[in-house]
Chains A and B, each alone.
Chain A
Amino acid sequence: MANDIQDKRRVDEATNTEFVGHEWDGIEELDTPMPRWWLWTFYLTIAWSLAYVIAYPAWPLLEKGTEGVLGWTSRGQLAEQMSAAEMARADVRAQIAATPLERLPEDSALLAQAVAGGRAAFLVNCVQCHGSGAAGSQELGYPNLNDDDWLWGGDIRAIEYTLTHGIRQQDHPETRQSQMPAFAGILTPPQVGAVVDHVLSLSGQAQPNAEGAALFAQNCSLCHGPAGQGDRTYGAPNLADAIWLRGSTRAAITSQILAPRMGMMPKWEGRLDPVTIRMLAAYVHSLGGGEDFVEVAADPEVAVDEQP
């Protein structure tokens, strides 16, 4: 056989070079040698890759992969980088911990650090409900954190309190707690319709309705206020503004009166460290709707400091 192959070798007469035996449309390939340095470079890359396989964790086995001889792992490298980053941040974190939250804006560099750290924590812990831009979802009832409508207060302390204690967390005695009663069976359908009319009229979306106003004063004003302006003490939404957590259609409002849905938020105390929670508060506050602490506190109508 070997001879047969030998016999098939043909040499190009013009260049005295062997053909490799391939032919495309009458064009034949000559066996032109690579320079030796080129070949050696190629061999070197193979040797290099073998060295890699030996030196580093590379080969998956049934139980565990090969571990390499250098003791290097990407997990170990990550852990190192994480602890180095932690070390690098320690100073800033200590400063944030030592600065009263409402005084943070006075140090713009520190505030910027806090906002950046808060954004990072937000993207890990909060985007699942509030969205990556913190715009929430009207459909699912997650509040938009960019606007200026706050159920429980929008100054930086109130935000921190909400973050720490969560909303409607049964296992936390100091959580934000409120409940709207279901009016199914209490109000008749025409009465509900009248209340919906009145609620819509509060923000100028419908004509005033006297029956609805009376029913509202009787049943709703205790929490939502006589003019429907809401009460942050109970987390009762403002019904007289343009922002509707679950929509302002008649159907949405009717459903909310008959069988209200109320959101929950995890408490982050114990899950995130206090400094991260502070940074989150700074970030949420910085989104554009955050309220000034001093001004709000000076307003007797909305006493933020006396949270439950």
Chain B
Amino acid sequence: MNSPNHLYEAVKTVHNKRIDGRFRRFKWLMMIVTLAIYYVTPWLRWDRGPYAPDQAVLVDMANRRFYMFGIEIWPHEFYFVAGLLIMAGIGLFLITSAVGRAWCGYACPQTVWTDLFQHVDRLIDGDRNARIRLEAAPWTWSKVLRRGVKWTIYLAIAFATGGAWILYFADAPTLFAEFFALDAAPIAYATVAVLTLTTFTLGGFMREQVCIYMCPWPRIQSAMMDEKSLTVTYKDWRGEPRGSVKKAQKDPEAFGDCIDCLQCVAVCPTGIDIREGPQIGCITCALCIDACDKVMADIGRPRGLIDYATLEDCAAEAAGKAPKPIWKTLLRPRTVAYTLIWGSIGMALLFALGTRTHTDLTVSADRNPPFMLMSDGSIRNSYTLRLRNMESRPRDMEVAIAGLPGGVFWTDTIGQNEAAASQTFTVPADATLPVRAYVAAPPGAAATEITFTLTSQDEQREQDVVEAGFTTPGEQ
């Protein structure tokens, strides 16, 4: 491997060979689907009426709203986003424990964009051998031209990647027009510039280096996988010892199925040799399986010398036993547990989504000072109420206090002479109305828990009940 005389290793460019096969076709499908989702989503429209934007998926930072089709998430409902992120995390654990690094091999953005850039390489410079030759060749005008064209295409792809990202944060058609008219916000240009640069370098040049040196996930995955997880494996008991086709034909008994054709290495996008066993550089994209299967078919041997298998199956097969059926491999306590956790979080989120109302009240009691003795001996506490109207029309909402005998309240806009146990406010469409409420109890009040009840004054009569502490001098 590395010569002891060299302290630092230069990056060896991986020139992976073109291959066709079932996994390659699946990779194509995944690439098309993921890229289509990424590029098309911001352009989908969703009619939300006059008060809300018509973009199906929109992260509206300025107004602090997150729109996803029929769902509108407010900042105080951020647990939905947290829940989705937890589901994504557990989903990743589930996938990894079941089918190993399938995320890395097919769906990870780094993989998808690297794959795309490798197709550009192939389009401009030709396949593996031509690329190796071109890299070794001196810098002629023709090479400069080829490199120029290739890097321009890289840049175009990178720009499209960065450009699509910002469309999730503003109305896509408007921003698109503004962007090219140089009217967009500086942050939009900065974001596009940064993402263009990172896509260009990470996808165009660093490629497998990102997976091996920068990404933390391969390191975590070894903890998520076990000997029952499916992964790309070379079946050495079947392949070894290796020998050329000719040697193997002469003496079939002395040689295994591997003819050392190195096709599995040539097609690998991270440049590893799978025959050295499971390793950190393997993203389980299975292109080596496609390559090996093709060679096996050519020399008339059964497919699957390199195949998706669990380490347990490998041991069983090596010992001459039959491997476990695939459904048993996928359906085991660990994957079932992950599925249950994943599903129950999903159900909880759906339940919360189904039962949430379009009104909300939050109450925060002033703690500085905690209570106020008034000259007539009555006790006053101050609260900041936030009345939320999550519908696209103004609504009247009544706030009533209970649990405090003789208690009344007024606000900074409703005077003390109109103090009462309930007050009505008009909350504008899609808005939060902050109200400073002064709650007064007659002298000698002893209550420590009061409730604020918000009732929408429309046919729905949505309610939100909030408990809050009422502090009296006796507690001090």
Q: Which residues of A contact B (CB under 8 A)?
A: 9, 11, 15-18, 31-39, 108, 131-135, 144, 146-149, 238, 241-243, 286, 288-289, 292
Q: Who on chain B is nearest to A203 by CB?
A: B377
The answer to whether B366 and A133 have CB atoms under 8 Å apart is yes
10 A-B pairs with least C-beta separation: A133-B368, A135-B369, A241-B375, A242-B377, A33-B9, A18-B4, A149-B375, A33-B8, A133-B369, A146-B372
The answer to whether B369 and A146 have CB atoms under 8 Å apart is yes
Q: Does any Cβ of A come within 8 Å of B2's Cβ? A: yes
Q: Does any Cβ of A come within 8 Å of B1's Cβ? A: yes
Measured between alpha carbons, how far is A292 from B415 in the docked complex, in Å? 10
Q: How many A-B residue pairs have CB under 8 A?
A: 84
Chain B hits for A144, CB < 8 A? 369, 372
Measured between alpha carbons, how far is A15 from B9 in the docked complex, in Å? 15
30 residue pairs bridging A and B, Cβ less than 8 Å apart: A15-B2, A16-B2, A17-B2, A18-B4, A31-B4, A31-B7, A33-B2, A33-B7, A34-B8, A34-B9, A35-B8, A35-B10, A35-B11, A36-B8, A39-B8, A131-B368, A133-B367, A135-B368, A146-B372, A147-B373, A147-B374, A147-B375, A147-B380, A148-B375, A238-B375, A242-B375, A242-B376, A243-B374, A288-B372, A289-B372
Contact with A along B340-372 (1 / 0, CB 8 A): 000000000000000000000000001111001
The answer to whether A37 and B372 have CB atoms under 8 Å apart is no
Measured between alpha carbons, how far is A288 from B413 in the docked complex, in Å? 11
* Given A146-B372, A242-B375, A288-B382; A17-B4 close (CB under 8 Å): yes
Taking CB atoms and an 8 Å cut-off, the chain B residues in 414-471 that contact chain A are: 415, 438, 443
Q: Who on chain A is nearest to B378 by CB?
A: A242
Contact with A along B1-26 (1 / 0, CB 8 A): 11110111111000000000000000
Contact of A288 among B368, B375, B380 (CB under 8 A): B380
Contact of A241 among B7, B366, B376 (CB under 8 A): B376
* Given A35-B213, A144-B369, A288-B438; A9-B4 close (CB under 8 Å): yes
Chain B hits for A149, CB < 8 A? 374-375
Q: Does any Cβ of A come within 8 Å of B296's Cβ? A: no
Distance between A40 CB and nearest chain B CB, rounded to angstroms:
10
* Given A11-B4, A15-B1, A135-B369; A36-B10 close (CB under 8 Å): yes
Measured between alpha carbons, how far is A22 from B376 in the docked complex, in Å? 79
Chain B hits for A241, CB < 8 A? 375-377
Q: Does any Cβ of A come within 8 Å of B209's Cβ? A: yes
Chain A hits for B209, CB < 8 A? 35, 37
Q: Who on chain A is nearest to B382 by CB?
A: A288
A interface majority secondary structure: loop
Measured between alpha carbons, how far is A137 from B368 in the docked complex, in Å? 12
The answer to whether B368 and A243 have CB atoms under 8 Å apart is no
Number of interface residues of B (CB under 8 A): 30
Distance between B439 CB and nearest chain A CB, rounded to angstroms:
11
Chain B hits for A17, CB < 8 A? 1-2, 4
Measured between alpha carbons, how far is A241 from B366 in the docked complex, in Å? 24
Distance between B464 CB and nearest chain A CB, rounded to angstroms:
25
Chain A hits for B413, CB < 8 A? 108
Chain B hits for A135, CB < 8 A? 368-369, 372
Q: Who on chain B is nearest to A295 by CB?
A: B417
Measured between alpha carbons, how far is A135 from B372 in the docked complex, in Å? 8
The answer to whether B11 and A37 have CB atoms under 8 Å apart is yes
The answer to whether A37 and B374 have CB atoms under 8 Å apart is no
Q: Does any Cβ of A come within 8 Å of B90's Cβ? A: no
Contact of A243 among B6, B366, B375 (CB under 8 A): B375
For B368, B372, B377, which residue has the most chain A Cβ atoms within 10 angstroms?
B372
For B209, B368, B438, which residue has the most chain A Cβ atoms within 10 angstroms?
B368
Measured between alpha carbons, how far is A108 from B434 in the docked complex, in Å? 14
Contact of B206 among A34, A37, A134 (CB under 8 A): A37
Q: Does any Cβ of A come within 8 Å of B253's Cβ? A: no
Chain A hits for B415, CB < 8 A? 292
Q: Does any Cβ of A come within 8 Å of B183's Cβ? A: no
Q: Does any Cβ of A come within 8 Å of B412's Cβ? A: yes
Measured between alpha carbons, how far is A163 from B24 in the docked complex, in Å? 80
Chain A hits for B11, CB < 8 A? 35-37
Measured between alpha carbons, how far is A289 from B375 in the docked complex, in Å? 10
Given contacts A35-B209, A148-B375, A149-B374, 4 further A-B contacts (CB under 8 A): A34-B9, A35-B9, A131-B368, A133-B367
Chain A hits for B372, CB < 8 A? 135, 144, 146-147, 288-289
For B206, B375, B412, B413, which residue has the most chain A Cβ atoms within 10 angstroms?
B375
Q: Who on chain A is nearest to B5 by CB?
A: A18
Chain B hits for A292, CB < 8 A? 415
Chain A hits for B367, CB < 8 A? 133
Chain B hits for A33, CB < 8 A? 2, 6-9
Chain A hits for B373, CB < 8 A? 147, 242-243
Chain A hits for B412, CB < 8 A? 286
Measured between alpha carbons, how far is A32 from B280 in the docked complex, in Å? 15
Measured between alpha carbons, how far is A15 from B279 in the docked complex, in Å? 15
Distance between B409 CB and nearest chain A CB, rounded to angstroms:
11
Distance between B205 CB and nearest chain A CB, rounded to angstroms:
8
Chain A hits for B369, CB < 8 A? 131, 133-135, 144, 146
Distance between A120 CB and nearest chain B CB, rounded to angstroms:
16
Chain A hits for B7, CB < 8 A? 31, 33
The answer to whether B366 and A148 have CB atoms under 8 Å apart is no
Measured between alpha carbons, how far is A292 from B418 in the docked complex, in Å? 14
For A9, A11, A16, A33, which residue has the most chain B Cβ atoms within 10 angstroms?
A33
The answer to whether A148 and B8 have CB atoms under 8 Å apart is no
Measured between alpha carbons, how far is A33 from B438 in the docked complex, in Å? 68
Q: Who on chain B is nearest to A146 by CB?
A: B372
Q: Who on chain A is nearest to B413 by CB?
A: A108
Measured between alpha carbons, how far is A144 from B375 in the docked complex, in Å? 12
Measured between alpha carbons, how far is A148 from B380 in the docked complex, in Å? 11
Chain A hits for B10, CB < 8 A? 35-36
Distance between B407 CB and nearest chain A CB, rounded to angstroms:
16
Distance between B441 CB and nearest chain A CB, rounded to angstroms:
13
Measured between alpha carbons, how far is A292 from B197 in the docked complex, in Å? 62
Q: Who on chain A is nearest to B379 by CB?
A: A242
Chain A hits for B377, CB < 8 A? 241-242
Measured between alpha carbons, how far is A103 from B416 in the docked complex, in Å? 19
The answer to whether B368 and A132 have CB atoms under 8 Å apart is yes
Taking CB atoms and an 8 Å cut-off, the chain B residues in 94-152 that contact chain A are: none
Chain B hits for A16, CB < 8 A? 1-4
Measured between alpha carbons, how far is A133 from B368 in the docked complex, in Å? 5
Measured between alpha carbons, how far is A33 from B366 in the docked complex, in Å? 59
Measured between alpha carbons, how far is A283 from B88 in the docked complex, in Å? 48
Chain B hits for A31, CB < 8 A? 4, 7
Chain A hits for B374, CB < 8 A? 147-149, 242-243, 289
Measured between alpha carbons, how far is A148 from B413 in the docked complex, in Å? 17
Measured between alpha carbons, how far is A135 from B368 in the docked complex, in Å? 7
Chain B hits for A147, CB < 8 A? 372-375, 380
Measured between alpha carbons, how far is A149 from B376 in the docked complex, in Å? 9
Contact with A along B280-319 (1 / 0, CB 8 A): 0000000000000000000000000000000000000000
